[in-house]
């Protein structure tokens, strides 16, 4: 993707500013003369910023403005060790709301909508981002937060919510519950804004069908504002991102080399407007690609593909690299296999064994499904596996991110 002149100028001005005062990037970019950055190629030689760097800056080492300008902090979910703290100025908060409101608009949501928000509020950036964007849009928000399915459904019916904001697994849980209770005709949802998780086509179709809504993928990460830096459009062909706020690159996860448009690699983000904690070449660990060409919707905002997985989800089994999205794609083509699956990898008697658990459509021939799974995995992904069809509901659902791959080899 060619960097525009505006983007280049914003980035250069930011680097100049950051290297001229005591802050995280003064040290990170030590020895680099900002005046020597004359082109996109020069920019692409700058060092990456890693999540580990941000962790080391805990608690407030990322703060790039005087403390009195900081109005809020958020923290990324630190599943392992020290979390990352991101400070926001008022402008950062306003910019985030503006981007999020643009996401709703891209999804055709207006001030006449009633937006039911189930992601969590608090240190995590999710709920509050959905809220700010909806308020800026002028829609009525229903700030539910996660959990308590009975209450969720009651409010959804009583308030006649038209938009559901949720993670894909929670949307699926609610969709299943609505079907089970037979209350579909009392639900007025028209659209679903689904974030913070990767999901396959089959799961998308199930949620859309059971809820009777059109779904939109929202993208973002706490380190870069939060959800809302991009969203899919009606044409469901990738995620438009706001290139006036973020500059995106796709790099080879192993070598760090910038890849041509269309090739799959790791998304790297540079912020263009952020004040509290600007980021330069931040490695997101999300796997995607730039989608070349114009979108049929006519939007001029560029597109990345729906997130295909995490660089750390890439698993190597029997010498073959496997992405979760490949498994999802394979499942979507198999009769009687649902979208819910789990993978266990073990090492027994000197051999890797991959076991694929899949929820099967009730009443189907499980023996036949098992055979189909084994044959198709070998055919499409290239290794022989064990397959275990299970009942619908046997695999865990969660309100946060679902872990689908368990590597027990190390
Ligand atoms: Zn589009």
Domain limits, CATH 3.30.300.30, in the chain: 314-407
Question: Ligand 1 centre from 297 Cα, in Å?
Answer: 4
Question: Ligand 1 centre from 232 Cα, in Å?
Answer: 7
152 pLDDT above the threshold of 90? yes
pLDDT at residue 142 in the model: 98
Angstrom distance (rounded) from CA 182 to CA 194? 23
Question: Ligand 1 centre from 292 Cα, in Å?
Answer: 12
Contact call for residues 281 and 249 (beta carbons, < 8 A) = yes
400 pLDDT above the threshold of 60? no
Report the 10 Å Cβ neighbour count for 55.
Answer: 17
Closest by CA position to 72, among listed 110, 115, 137, 121: 121
Question: Ligand 1 centre from 288 Cα, in Å?
Answer: 17
Q: Kindly state the tokens that stand for 145.
A: 């937060």
Domain limits, CATH 3.40.50.12780, in the chain: 89-311
Residue 275: which pLDDT band, with cuts at 50, 70 and 90? very high
Question: Ligand 1 centre from 294 Cα, in Å?
Answer: 8
Exposed, middle or buried by CB within 10 Å (0-12, 13-18, 19+), for 91? middle
Residue 78: which pLDDT band, with cuts at 50, 70 and 90? low
Question: Ligand 1 centre from 172 Cα, in Å?
Answer: 25
Closest by CA position to 383, among listed 352, 344, 349, 360: 352
Question: Ligand 1 centre from 105 Cα, in Å?
Answer: 12
Question: Ligand 1 centre from 197 Cα, in Å?
Answer: 20
Closest by CA position to 77, among listed 165, 203, 167: 167
Question: Ligand 1 centre from 49 Cα, in Å?
Answer: 30
Question: Ligand 1 centre from 106 Cα, in Å?
Answer: 8
Q: Residue 66 — φ and ψ, nearest 5°? A: -60, 150
Question: Ligand 1 centre from 236 Cα, in Å?
Answer: 7
Question: Ligand 1 centre from 11 Cα, in Å?
Answer: 26
Residues in the chain: 410
Question: Ligand 1 centre from 268 Cα, in Å?
Answer: 21
CATH 1.20.1250.20 fits 314-407, yes or no: no
Mean per-residue pLDDT, 185-195:
96
Question: Ligand 1 centre from 296 Cα, in Å?
Answer: 6
The fold for domain 89-311 equals: Rossmann fold (3.40.50)
Mean per-residue pLDDT, 193-199:
78
- Its pTM stands at 0.83
């Amino acid at each position: 993707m060619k960097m525009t002149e505006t983007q280049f100028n914003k980035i250069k001005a930011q680097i100049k500013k950051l290297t001229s005062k005591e802050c995280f990037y003064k040290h990170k970019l030590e020895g680099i003369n900002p005046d020597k950055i004359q082109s996109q190629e020069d920019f692409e030689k700058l060092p990456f910023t890693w999540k580990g760097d941000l962790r080391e800056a805990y608690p407030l080492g990322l703060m790039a403005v005087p403390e009195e300008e900081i109005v809020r902090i958020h923290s990324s979910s630190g599943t392992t060790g020290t979390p990352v703290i991101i400070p926001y100025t008022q402008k950062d908060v306003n910019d985030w709301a503006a981007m999020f409101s643009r996401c709703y608009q891209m999804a055709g949501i207006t001030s006449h909508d009633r937006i039911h928000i189930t992601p969590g509020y608090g240190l995590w950036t999710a709920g509050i981002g959905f809220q700010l964007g909806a308020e800026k849009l002028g829609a009525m928000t229903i700030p539910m937060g996660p959990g308590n399915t009975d209450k969720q459904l009651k409010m959804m019916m009583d308030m006649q919510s038209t938009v559901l904001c949720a993670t894909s697994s929670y949307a699926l849980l609610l969709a299943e519950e609505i079907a089970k209770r037979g209350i579909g005709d009392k639900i007025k949802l028209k659209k679903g804004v689904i974030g913070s998780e990767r999901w396959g086509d089959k799961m998308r179709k199930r949620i859309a069908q059971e809820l009777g809504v059109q779904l939109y993928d929202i993208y973002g990460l706490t380190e870069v504002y939060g959800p809302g830096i991009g969203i899919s459009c009606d044409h469901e062909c990738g995620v438009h991102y706001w290139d006036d706020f973020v500059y995106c690159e796709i790099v080879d996860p192993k070598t760090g080399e910038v890849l041509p448009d269309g090739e799959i690699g790791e998304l790297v983000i540079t912020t263009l407007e952020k004040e509290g904690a600007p980021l330069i070449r931040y490695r997101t660990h999300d796997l995607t690609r730039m989608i070349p060409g114009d979108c049929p919707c006519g939007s001029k905002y560029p597109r990345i593909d729906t997130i295909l997985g995490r660089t750390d989800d890439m698993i190597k089994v029997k010498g073959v690299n496997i992405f979760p999205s490949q498994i999802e794609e394979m499942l979507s083509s198999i009769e009687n296999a649902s979208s819910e699956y789990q993978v266990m990898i073990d090492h027994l008697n000197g051999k890797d064994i991959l076991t694929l658990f899949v929820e099967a459509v009730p009443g189907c021939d499980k023996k036949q499904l098992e055979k189909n799974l084994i044959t198709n995995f070998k055919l499409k992904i290239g290794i022989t596996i064990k397959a275990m069809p299970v009942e619908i509901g046997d695999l865990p659902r969660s309100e946060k991110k679902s872990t689908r791959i368990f590597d027990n080899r190390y």
